[in-house]
Amino acid sequence: MFKTIVKIIKLFIQDVPLFRSHITENSPEVALLRKYVRTKDSSILKQLAEAGIIQQHLAAHNIVATVGRNVIARLLAGDVTYSGQINYGALGSSSTAVANADTQLGTEVYRKLYSSHTTDGNNVAYVDFFYAASDTNGTYNEFGNFIDGTGSANTGRLFSHILTGGWVKSNVQSMFVSCQYTIS
């Protein structure tokens, strides 16, 4: 069974001129966000919020689609048709309810390669995505990540899919999406 949590942290950099060109997927602030997600040390989030870097923090559960679970089952049986690596995270505009049978987002708008991935050494995997201020902007009603995707929309095997409730990202905001997958 997969237990999944998607944590979304918007980095608001409009009112913090010092950070305007500083926050990247490899910046110390994003490293602290990764540490927060993995350790659940709320003092890290508080520190970044007090510095004006965090605008919004959300956590939600998503589904692992049948096609994503199928890739894992194939790997366990020795079928290496797919690598099993989640490599792209995509934002979409559809508000249609997610379903186990989904194979792609309802309406994919933008996708990006993962910014980091790791495991805790036990049964938890973390896959992070960083959308820089200049990458994209708009309202995104869905998020999904893909195994063996390419830079083109609707490629790869959909692993997880979530309705976001309408994440709004402007061209002066970066967004950090961390996906936590627990196999239990």
pLDDT tens, residue by residue, 62-97: 889 999 999 999 999 999 999 999 999 999 999 999
Predicted pLDDT of residue 30: 84
**pLDDT tens figures, 90-116:** 999 999 999 999 999 999 999 999 999
7 band by pLDDT with thresholds 50, 70 and 90? low
22 band by pLDDT with thresholds 50, 70 and 90? low
Count structural domains, the chain: 1
Helix (H, G, I), strand (E, B) or coil at 70: helix
Predicted pLDDT of residue 13: 45
Q: What is the mean pLDDT of residues 33-41?
A: 87
Q: How far is 87 from 113, CA to CA, in rounded Å?
A: 6
Task: Sheet with 138-147: list strands edge to edge.
Answer: 63-64, 157-169, 138-147, 86-92, 108-113
What residue numbers bound the domain in which 58 lies?
2-183
User: What percent of the chain lies above the pLDDT cut of 70?
Assistant: 88
Predicted pLDDT of residue 2: 58
51 band by pLDDT with thresholds 50, 70 and 90? confident
Q: What is the mean pLDDT of residues 162-177?
A: 88
